[in-house]
């Protein structure tokens, strides 16, 4: 096919599987798997955090004490359970479909397709936040980017350039993530050290300014957005070297690394800087750096923010693109979504579609972006928790190279606590988010039946679900 290479082929549309045993599991293996432990750790880090950039609105919404408690407690009730589930199911089903495979194995093709749609849409909406976040930091140095056409053009150009970098290969993205992570965190290490003599511990227990109403919607959405998407890396499992051994260790290190990278700068800045609570908006860390050390550190934080945004964008775009590839392998979408570039071995169709959707939503406000992404992601996570419990109960004999050392009642409790938080996130959503998420869910259901019609009418070629082993 000249410059392109199609991974999956099937001349006839597949029949929907009738039983669990007939459900396909992807085991693609043609190219050597490139991602090793260290690049994978930093890709997970950028799937989730990328540094403390974006944590500031938690202080604006509820004050220093609640912000610190949030980033201390939330990882235990949310991040760790999600990472453990990802480790177990990714090692049991090490294919590029990730959570799509899990839902399909548990509840059948309809739930697998719905999971894929929810997670894909939440992923590409979330990706749109990162060029916006970069511009939010840059505009403090270049005020012309605050609004109007200069801002819109800057977002468009940055999005296109970052997508092209992703097209050049996952190996490049992985090692770039290591460099970007180290460089983007370095100014916060310096800022935290220089803040120590200026810290007043009593500021940590402040509930916020008197007369300022708590914005719990912003608070919980900020926590959720900064500490979720641990399972996104599961869609790259088919590209990882020895995933059954590598995934658990990478997730463990990434959880610790991420939590520390949020907490240390937050303790340093809230203890050393006293400003009006309203100033704690996205990008305030740069202002705090100037107050603590001077303009030179402010500019370094700005540069770090841009580099962090690049890493976040690359990691999450990779997950979205490879998710579509995995869904094509499973027969949920046409084969052309599994087309890879012969030169770079990247799923260029998935990258292109993800980029186009990202551009479409990148002109929303930062708060609207994360709220919409959080709602759709919450729906997907509820289905993911249910899939995990169902597979543990119904397939106890399934080979699980990594197994969470808990019995079923304990696992149910472990899933119920974050599930309650998911319901809370959805309950406090705005009417706009309900409308957007509702329309997207209806569209996802319609998409499943449309794909079935396409299979029946033979309008496109679909995989049978059994990916050829090479």
pLDDT tens figures, 9-43: 344 444 444 434 444 444 444 444 578 889 899 98
pLDDT of residue 209: 86
DSSP state of 281: S
pLDDT of residue 467: 39
- Structural contact between residues 115 and 100, judged by C-beta atoms closer than 8 angstroms: yes
pLDDT tens figures, 309-351: 888 888 889 889 999 998 998 999 999 998 888 888 888 999 9
Distance CA 440, CA 434 (A): 10
CB atoms closer than 10 angstroms to residue 196: 10
Name residue, tokens 């370094």: 300
Distance CA 32, CA 37 (A): 15
pLDDT of residue 9: 38
CB atoms closer than 10 angstroms to residue 439: 10
Q: What are the residues whose beta carbons fall under 8 Å from the beta carbon of 240, sequence distance 6 or more?
A: 33, 35, 40, 94, 246, 247
DSSP state of 75: I
Annotate 379-416 with b (16+ C-beta within 10 A) or e (fewer): bbbbbbbbbbbbbbeeeeeeebbbebeeeeeebbebbe
List 6's β-bridge partners, or say none.
Answer: 339
Annotate 232-255 with b (16+ C-beta within 10 A) or e (fewer): bbbbbbbbbeebbebbbebbebbb
pLDDT of residue 364: 64
Give helix 37-48 / helix 295-329 axis angle, nearest 10°: 100
Report pTM: 0.81
Determine phi and psi for 332, rounding to 5 degrees. -80, -30
Q: How far is CA 84 from the centre of its chain?
A: 16
Distance CA 256, CA 270 (A): 21
pLDDT of residue 413: 94
Token output for 386: 């249910």
DSSP state of 312: H
pLDDT of residue 110: 96
Determine phi and psi for 340, rounding to 5 degrees. -115, 155
Nearest of 199, 447, 415, 230 to residue 333 by alpha carbon: 447
pLDDT of residue 465: 64
pLDDT tens string for the chain (470 positions)?
434 443 333 444 444 444 344 444 444 444 445 788 898 999 899 888 888 988 999 999 999 999 999 999 999 988 999 999 999 999 999 888 889 999 999 999 999 999 999 999 888 887 887 777 777 767 777 888 877 888 888 888 888 888 888 888 777 778 888 888 898 899 999 999 999 999 999 999 999 888 888 998 889 888 987 888 888 888 888 788 888 888 899 999 999 999 999 999 999 999 999 898 989 988 899 999 999 999 999 989 988 888 888 888 888 898 899 999 989 989 999 999 988 888 888 889 999 999 998 888 776 665 666 666 678 888 999 999 999 999 999 999 999 999 999 999 999 999 999 999 889 878 877 888 888 888 889 999 999 999 999 999 999 998 876 533 32
């Amino acid at each position: 096919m000249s410059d392109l290479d199609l991974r999956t082929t099937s001349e006839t549309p597949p029949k929907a599987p009738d039983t669990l045993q007939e459900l396909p599991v992807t085991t693609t293996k043609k190219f050597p798997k490139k991602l090793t432990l260290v690049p994978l750790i930093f890709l997970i880090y950028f799937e989730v955090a990328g540094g403390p950039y974006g944590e500031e609105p938690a202080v604006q919404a509820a004050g220093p004490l609640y912000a610190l408690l949030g980033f201390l407690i939330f990882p235990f009730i949310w991040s760790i359970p999600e990472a453990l589930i990802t480790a177990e199911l990714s090692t049991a089903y090490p294919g590029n479909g990730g959570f799509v495979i899990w839902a399909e194995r548990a509840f059948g093709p309809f739930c697998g397709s719905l999971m894929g749609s929810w997670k894909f849409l939440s992923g590409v909406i979330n990706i749109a936040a990162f060029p916006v976040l970069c511009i939010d930091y840059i505009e403090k140095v270049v005020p012309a980017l605050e609004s109007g056409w200069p801002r819109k053009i800057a977002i468009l150009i940055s999005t296109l350039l970052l997508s092209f970098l992703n097209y050049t290969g996952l190996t490049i993205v992985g090692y770039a993530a290591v460099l970007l992570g180290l460089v983007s965190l370095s100014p916060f290490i310096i800022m935290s050290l220089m803040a120590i003599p200026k810290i007043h511990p009593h500021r940590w227990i402040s509930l916020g300014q008197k007369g300022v109403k708590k914005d719990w919607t912003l608070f919980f959405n900020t926590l959720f957005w900064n500490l979720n998407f641990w399972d996104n890396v599961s869609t790259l499992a088919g590209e990882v070297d020895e995933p059954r051994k590598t995934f658990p260790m990478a997730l463990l290190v990434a959880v610790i690394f991420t939590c520390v990278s949020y907490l240390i700068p937050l303790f340093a800045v809230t203890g050393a800087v006293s400003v009006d609570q309203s100033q704690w908006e996205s990008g305030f860390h740069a202002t705090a750096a100037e107050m603590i050390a001077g303009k030179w550190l402010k500019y370094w934080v700005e540069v770090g923010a841009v580099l962090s945004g690049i890493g976040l964008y690359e990691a999450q775009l990779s997950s979205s693109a490879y998710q579509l590839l995995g869904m094509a392998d499973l027969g949920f979408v046409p084969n052309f979504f599994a087309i890879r570039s012969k030169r770079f071995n990247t799923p260029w169709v998935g990258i292109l579609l993800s980029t186009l959707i990202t551009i479409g939503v990148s002109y929303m406000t930062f708060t609207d972006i994360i709220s919409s992404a959080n709602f759709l992601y919450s729906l997907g996570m509820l289905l993911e928790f249910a899939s995990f419990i169902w597979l543990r109960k119904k397939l106890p004999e399934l080979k699980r190279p990594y197994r969470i050392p808990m019995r079923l009642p304990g696992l149910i409790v472990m899933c119920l606590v974050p599930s309650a938080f998911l319901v809370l996130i959805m309950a406090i959503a705005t009417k706009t988010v309900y409308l957007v998420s509702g329309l997207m869910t209806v569209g996802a259901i319609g998409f499943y039946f449309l794909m079935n019609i396409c299979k029946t009418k033979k309008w496109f070629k679909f995989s049978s679900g059994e990916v050829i082993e090479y």
